A = this chain, B = another copy of it.
Amino acid sequence: MSPEIELDHWHDRYAKRTSRMRTSAVRDLMAVADQPDIIALSGGMPETGVFEETLRPIAEELLVDEAARTLQYGPSQGIVTLREQICDLMFEEGMHVHPDDVLITVGAQQALEFLGKVLLDDGDTVVIEEPSYVGALNAFLSYEAQFETIPTDVSGMDIDALDERLGDMDTPPKFVYVIPNFQNPGGATLSLERRQQLIDVVNKHDVILVEDNPYGRLRFKGDTLPTLRSLDDSVVYLGTFSKIFSPGVRVGWIVAPPALRDRLLHAKQAADLCSSMLNQRLVEEFFKRGLFEPHLKKLIEIYSGRAEVMAKALKKHFPAEATWSDSEGGFFVWAKLPEYLDTTEMLAEALAKKVAYVPGSGFFPDGRGKEAIRLSFGAVGHDKIRQGISVLGEVIKGQMELYESLKF
Residues A59 and B63 in contact, CB atoms below 8 Å apart:
yes
List chain B residues, Cβ under 8 A from A259: 7-8, 10-11
Q: Which residues between 122 and 179 of chain A lie within 8 Å of chain B, taking CB atoms?
A: 124, 135, 138-139, 141-143, 174
Q: How far is the CB of A239 from chain B (nearest CB, A)?
A: 15
A70 within 8 Å of B (CB atoms)? yes
Residues B118 and A18 in contact, CB atoms below 8 Å apart:
yes
A256 to B63, CA, bound (A): 33
Contact A248-B277, Cβ < 8 Å, known A45-B72, A174-B13: yes
Residues B248 and A74 in contact, CB atoms below 8 Å apart:
yes
List chain B residues, Cβ under 8 A from A118: 14-15, 18
Given B10, B59, B258, which contacts A64 in the complex, CB threshold below 8 Å?
B59
Residues A273 and B107 in contact, CB atoms below 8 Å apart:
yes
List chain B residues, Cβ under 8 A from A269: 27, 135, 138
Q: How far is the CB of A137 from chain B (nearest CB, A)?
A: 10
Q: Which residues between 8 and 24 of chain A lie within 8 Å of chain B, taking CB atoms?
A: 8-11, 13-18, 21-23
Q: How far is the CB of A64 from chain B (nearest CB, A)?
A: 5
A binding-site residues for B, Cβ under 8 Å: 7-11, 13-18, 21-23, 27, 31, 34, 43-45, 48-49, 51, 53, 55-56, 58-60, 62-64, 67-75, 105-107, 109-110, 113, 116-121, 124, 135, 138-139, 141-143, 174, 208, 234, 242, 245-250, 257-260, 262-263, 266-267, 269-279, 282, 379
